[in-house]
């Protein structure tokens, strides 16, 4: 049972809009492209990666999988090493939310070091709270990170596409 109060007013409208944006990206296949790319990159790292199951294709499973920041940091470290940059530190055993949030913050800092513009980073709560609307920010970050990696000719390449939308509101 959730102890969080339901959103109302402007906060409700913003969250609803973010959920619609996530749904639109999901319809375009962006989350599927992201998890496919993460799996390919991690598997290319000397086989030290245990491949996740296909159940990660729904937003909640994918969010839960990435929630503690461990996979994100391991993934980013592969990108950073190939670009001759320093790895990010992270806690491999996450026993509390503070360790997870530190991992997520380190991931965001590492993304900036890799070349991702700061405005594409997300807040720790966007991932930790496992809510569809805020998870859109995580997807946007990883999607943008894929394009930065592609600009550096990273292999395996990210196969996501840039789709432009016109705001209807």
pLDDT for 1 equals: 44
Number of domains in the chain: 1
Q: Which domain holds residue 123?
A: 29-45+56-151
Asked if the structure places residue 2 within a domain, the reply is no
The answer to the question of residue 38 being in a domain is: yes
- Residue pLDDT, tens place only, 12-38: 888 889 999 999 999 999 999 999 999
Mean pLDDT in residue range 70-78: 95
C-alpha Rg value of the chain to the nearest Å: 16
3-state helix, strand, coil split of the chain in percent (to 5) is: 60, 0, 40
Looking at per-residue confidence, does 70 or 58 come out higher?
70
Among 52, 59, 20, 22, CA closest to 38: 52
Quote the pLDDT of residue 73: 97
Q: Is residue 162 helix, strand or coil? A: coil
**Is 23 among the domain residues?**
no
Give residue-wise pLDDT tens across range 84-123. Answer: 999 999 999 888 999 999 999 999 999 999 999 999 999 9
Query: Which CATH number goes with the domain that contains 33?
Result: 1.10.418.10
Return the pLDDT at 47: 59
Residue 1: CB atoms within 10 A of its CB come to 2
pLDDT digit string (tens) for 152-162? 999 999 998 87
10, part of any domain: no
**Residue 131, domain member (yes or no):** yes
Q: What does the mean pLDDT of the chain come to?
A: 88
Q: At residue 134, does pLDDT exceed 70?
A: yes
Residue 78 lies in a domain: yes
């Amino acid at each position: 049972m959730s102890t969080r109060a339901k959103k109302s007013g402007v906060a409700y409208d913003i969250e609803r809009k973010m959920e619609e944006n996530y749904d639109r990206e999901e319809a375009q296949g962006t989350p599927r492209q992201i998890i496919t790319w993460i799996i390919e990159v991690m598997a290319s790292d000397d086989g030290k990666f245990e491949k996740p199951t296909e159940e990660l294709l729904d937003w909640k499973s994918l969010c839960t999988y990435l929630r503690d920041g461990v996979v994100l940091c391991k993934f980013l470290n592969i990108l950073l090493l190939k670009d001759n940059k320093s790895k990010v530190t992270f806690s491999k055993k996450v026993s509390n939310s503070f360790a997870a949030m530190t991992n997520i913050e380190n991931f965001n800092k590492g993304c900036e070091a890799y070349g991702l513009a700061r405005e594409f980073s997300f807040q720790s709560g966007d991932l930790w709270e496992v809510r569809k609307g805020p998870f859109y920010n995580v997807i946007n970050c990883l999607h943008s990170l894929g394009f930065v990696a592609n600009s550096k000719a990273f292999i395996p390449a990210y196969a996501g596409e840039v789709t432009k939308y016109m705001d209807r509101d």
